[in-house]
């Protein structure tokens, strides 16, 4: 080695290298984060589209009648065998729509369905949104059904609100939402009032509460909403994918949409409104089945 030959780096050179590495990391990490989020969004949409295939099969099996969001409570309650519905590998009392969809694609939501458990957590990840992996409760799940226009078996004056309905009432299946990412009853509150997800909770302010039901964008004073009980706030889509909500339509196609693209309207505090008196009010055109803004029944 010749005299004066330098070995290694000076402190300044090391600092420059460290700075360059830090800059590269700062550039790469957001890209990786964005790619991860996009992958979750696509994986969730794939799950939803698989489940949507069961919707048509159910209708074919039931003389074109569309399934309700939750099956009706016939006289006798738990003592009436007719209130128990098949979910593929067992029965559930007044089953909700997702486990029944699973039955028709031979993918079961519960490893061991408990007929006496009104809620129960999903064991099958097909029923869980990758961007909301904690939402495994059958009542407080990730995706809400357009039950008000496709099948609302809640009672009003002793009569089902909007059930049974046949697929023939749908004029434009490609523009009729089937189910979508759901925020639950927290949608009726400002963002700073909402509380975290509670797997088996029932607080209206909790994100995901009663999220199996998805209210359409525009509701009237007489509309059913949220839990169906007096005083309940409305439900709405959950834009959990970078401001967009995964939505599958009745013809089986799907995508990620901003709430406003689906007809919803929000105040500046994030609260979803029923009928904002403005030049651009909420519209049910993407939910009604006709492509027109109709009142929910």
- Tens-place pLDDT, residues 67-106: 999 999 999 999 999 999 999 999 999 999 999 999 999 9
Contacts of 91 (CB under 8 A, 6+ apart): 84, 85, 113, 115
Percent of the chain past pLDDT 70, that is, above it, reads: 94
> pLDDT, tens digit, for every residue of 138-172?
999 999 999 999 999 999 999 999 999 999 999 99
Of 14-18, 215-219, 222-226, the least confident? 14-18
Residue 121 pLDDT grade (very low, low, confident, very high; cuts 50, 70, 90): very high
Residue 4 counted as domain residue: no
Residue 24: predicted pLDDT: 76
pLDDT in tens, 237-257: 999 999 999 999 999 999 999
The answer to whether the Cα torsion of 79, 82, 84, 90 is positive or negative is positive
How many domains would you assign to the chain? 1
Q: Is the pLDDT of residue 292 over 70?
A: yes
Task: Write the DSSP string, 20-46.
Answer: HHHHHHHHHHHHHHHHHHHHHHHHHHH
Show Cβ contacts of residue 151 under 8 Å, excluding neighbours closer than 6 positions.
66, 67, 68, 69, 162, 163, 164, 165
Please give the average per-residue pLDDT across 284-289, as a whole number.
98
**Residue 271 domain-assigned?**
no
Task: State the pLDDT confidence band at 6, using cuts at 50, 70 and 90.
Answer: low
* pLDDT score for 14: 75
Predicted confidence at residue 31, as pLDDT, reads 62
Identify whether 274 is part of a domain: no
Average pLDDT for the chain = 93
Does the structure show a pLDDT above 60 at 5? no
Q: Tell me, yes or no, whether 273 lies in a domain.
A: no
Does the residue 189 lie in any domain? yes
User: Which residues fall within 8 angstroms of residue 107, CB to CB, at 6 or more apart?
Assistant: 50, 51, 88, 124, 126
pLDDT score of 210 more than 70: yes
Q: Is residue 75 situated within a structural domain?
A: yes
Residue 226: pLDDT above 90? yes
Number of H helices, E strands in the chain: 3, 8
Judge whether residue 273 has pLDDT over 60.
yes
- pLDDT category of residue 34 using cuts at 50, 70 and 90: low
Structure confidence at residue 32 (pLDDT): 58
Q: Where in the sequence is the domain holding 184, given as residue range(s)?
A: 20-262
């Amino acid at each position: 080695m010749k005299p004066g030959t330098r070995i290694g780096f000076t402190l300044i050179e090391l600092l420059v290298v460290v700075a360059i590495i830090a800059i590269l990391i700062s550039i790469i990490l957001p890209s990786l984060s964005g790619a991860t989020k996009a992958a979750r969004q696509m994986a969730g949409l794939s799950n939803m589209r698989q489940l949507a295939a069961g919707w048509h099969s159910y209708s074919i099996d039931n003389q074109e009648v569309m399934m309700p969001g939750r099956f009706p409570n016939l006289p006798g309650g738990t003592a009436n065998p007719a209130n128990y519905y098949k979910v593929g590998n067992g029965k559930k009392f007044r089953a909700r729509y997702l486990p029944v969809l699973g039955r028709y694609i031979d993918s079961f939501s519960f490893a061991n369905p408990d007929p006496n458990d009104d809620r129960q957590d999903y064991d099958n990840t097909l029923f869980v949104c990758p961007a909301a992996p904690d939402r495994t409760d059958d009542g407080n799940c990730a995706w809400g059904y357009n039950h008000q226009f496709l099948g609302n078996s809640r009672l009003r004056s002793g009569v089902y609100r909007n059930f049974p309905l046949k697929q023939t009432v749908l004029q434009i299946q490609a523009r009729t939402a089937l189910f979508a990412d759901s925020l639950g009853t927290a949608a009726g509150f400002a963002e700073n009032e909402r509380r975290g997800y509670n797997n088996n909770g029932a607080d209206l302010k909790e994100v995901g509460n009663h999220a199996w039901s998805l209210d359409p964008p525009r509701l009237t004073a007489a509309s059913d909403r949220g839990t169906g009980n007096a005083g309940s706030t409305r439900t709405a889509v959950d834009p959990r994918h970078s401001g967009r909500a995964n939505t599958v339509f009745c013809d089986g196609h799907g995508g990620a949409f901003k709430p406003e693209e689906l007809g919803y309207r929000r105040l500046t505090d994030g609260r979803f409104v029923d009928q904002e008196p403005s030049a651009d009010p909420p519209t049910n055109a993407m939910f009604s089945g006709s492509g027109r803004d109709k009142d929910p029944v």
